[in-house]
């Protein structure tokens, strides 16, 4: 059993920390208070999320507009880091992310994932003769 702080629970639930604390105080979230800190069981929160909203019903809501949906073709995990390869159309995109993110997102070969690109600059390259 893994316990989460109020901050970690807020991140998991996509809520503000104060809102999580209020819901716990009201008994709407299963929690244990130790002194001034709230502790939450991750399995209970994940079960609540799964029961109340399915993944298909929960849209991917982010500010970035450049989202590329693809299929995971390769996962290479080494220590704290992971390399994720996505097939997007006839192209391949490779991203380096933490091992913890791979585990939290439950990524697996053959699964669907999104490459989300947020950048202030874009580089353009060309092949062949430029004369």
Range of the domain at 92: 66-117
CATH number of the domain that residue 33 is part of: 1.10.10
pLDDT value at residue 110: 96
Spatial separation of the C-alpha atoms in residues 115 and 68, rounded to whole Å: 5
Q: What is the pLDDT of residues 73-90, one digit of tens each?
A: 999 999 999 999 999 989
Q: What is the pLDDT of residues 18-77, one digit of tens each?
A: 999 999 999 888 999 888 899 998 888 877 776 544 444 455 566 666 778 899 999 999
Q: Answer yes or no: do 75 and 103 share one domain.
A: yes
Residue 1 has pLDDT above 60, yes or no: yes
Which is nearest to 21 in space by CA: 98, 59, 29? 29
- Asked if residue 126 belongs to a domain, the reply is no
- Asked if residue 60 belongs to a domain, the reply is no
CATH number of the domain that residue 89 is part of: 2.40.50.100
pLDDT value at residue 5: 92
Q: Answer yes or no: do 47 and 74 share one domain.
A: no
Q: Answer yes or no: do 109 and 76 share one domain.
A: yes
Spatial separation of the C-alpha atoms in residues 116 and 114, rounded to whole Å: 6
């Amino acid at each position: 059993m893994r316990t989460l702080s109020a901050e970690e629970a807020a991140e998991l639930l996509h809520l503000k920390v104060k809102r999580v604390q209020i819901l716990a105080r009201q008994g709407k979230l299963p929690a244990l208070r130790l002194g001034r800190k709230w502790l939450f069981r991750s399995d209970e929160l994940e079960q609540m999320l799964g029961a109340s909203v399915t993944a298909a019903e929960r849209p991917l809501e982010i500010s970035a507009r450049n989202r590329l949906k693809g299929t995971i073709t390769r996962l290479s995990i080494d220590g704290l880091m992971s390399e994720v390869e996505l097939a997007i159309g006839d192209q391949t995109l490779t991203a380096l992310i933490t091992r913890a993110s791979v585990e939290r997102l439950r990524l697996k070969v053959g699964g669907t994932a999104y490459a989300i690109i947020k950048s202030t600059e874009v580089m353009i390259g060309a092949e062949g003769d430029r004369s």
